[in-house]
Amino acid sequence: MVDAHTHLDACGAKTAEDVRAMLDRAEAAGVSRVVTVADDLAAARWAAEAATWDDRVYAAVALHPTRTSDFSDADRAELAELAARPRVVAVGETGLDYYWDYAPRDAQQEAFRWHIELAKRVGKPLMIHDRDAHADVLAALDAEGAPEKVVFHCFSGDLDFARACVERGFVLSFAGPVTFRNSSALREAAAWVPSGQLLVETDAPFLTPHPFRGRPNEPYCVNYTLRELATLRHVELIILANEVTRTAENVFGIGA
């Protein structure tokens, strides 16, 4: 499988040896590749470099919406250079976050539009962070024209929002919250998403799936989310594992 969204640096990895050890643990659990995702410039530099240390690691770079209150031309130029690197397979995570007030909404929206354009310019998927901003995220994508491939990381909507995303051809990636029994609307959406538009992720070290909720997360834990998705979708685990692996390979352009 592929963990479609993780943060190896936030999990504690600093060196090539750290990354290798973390990926060895993941591979022992059947997770053969990961996309490590940046949320600021320092993380973007690290992710792009870490993706050259181990063939099992790919990177995504962007400025997280909560960090966009000060987004300079120099920042944009550096992100554009990083996004063009061959081991960087997506522009993300970018989008809108109305839960926190760390950045004004107008700054978030302007930065989001810039990232949409960047993804189209470099020809790579756009990886969306959407928290309490469903309508505005879709409005921005519709207004700017979405890139060919769009991934809603840690999808948090209900069935109606899932339908709106799927109708636009977007891919929905599910993390630990789909294993929580009180996430009924999210679980309903996950059961419905068509094959080929479904990914699985950890968002490690955050959002650890049941039964380890509240403990540190790592890419190997994606197994627990996949198992819950297989139950919700009434499919055999191996079939779903193969499906989400093919989807990840197609979305991110990574080989088997």
Cβ pair 3, 37 in contact under 8 A: no
Q: In angstroms, rounded to a whole number, what is the distance separating the alpha carbons of residues 21 and 196?
A: 31
**Does residue 210 surpass a pLDDT of 90?**
no
The Cβ of residue 63 has, within 10 Å, a number of other Cβ atoms equal to: 27
Q: Report the binding-site residues for a divalent metal cation.
A: 5, 7, 93, 129, 153, 203
Q: Rounded to the nearest 5 degrees, what angle is found at the Cα of 88, between the Cα atoms of 230 and 254? A: 45
Q: What is the pLDDT of residue 256?
A: 63
Q: In angstroms, rounded to a whole number, what is the distance separating the alpha carbons of residues 240 and 233?
A: 9
Q: Report the binding-site residues.
A: 5, 7, 93, 129, 153, 203
pTM of the predicted protein model: 0.96
Cα 229 to Cα 126, 159, 236, 242, 252: the distances in Å are: 23, 15, 10, 13, 21
pLDDT digits (tens, 9 = 90+) for 5-41: 999 999 999 999 999 999 999 999 999 999 999 999 9
Show the domains of the chain with their CATH numbers: 2-252 (3.20.20.140)
Instruction: Provide the token pair at 23.
Output: 């990926």
Q: What is the pLDDT of residue 112?
A: 98
Q: In angstroms, rounded to a whole number, what is the distance separating the alpha carbons of residues 26 and 191?
A: 25
Cβ pair 218, 190 in contact under 8 A: no
- The alpha carbon torsion through 182, 200, 143, 41 (nearest 10 deg) reads 110
pLDDT digits (tens, 9 = 90+) for 170-193: 999 999 999 998 999 999 999 999
Give residue 127's identity as a one-letter amino acid code: M
Q: What is the pLDDT of residue 216?
A: 85
Contacts of 31 (CB under 8 A, 6+ apart): 1, 2, 3, 219, 220, 222, 223
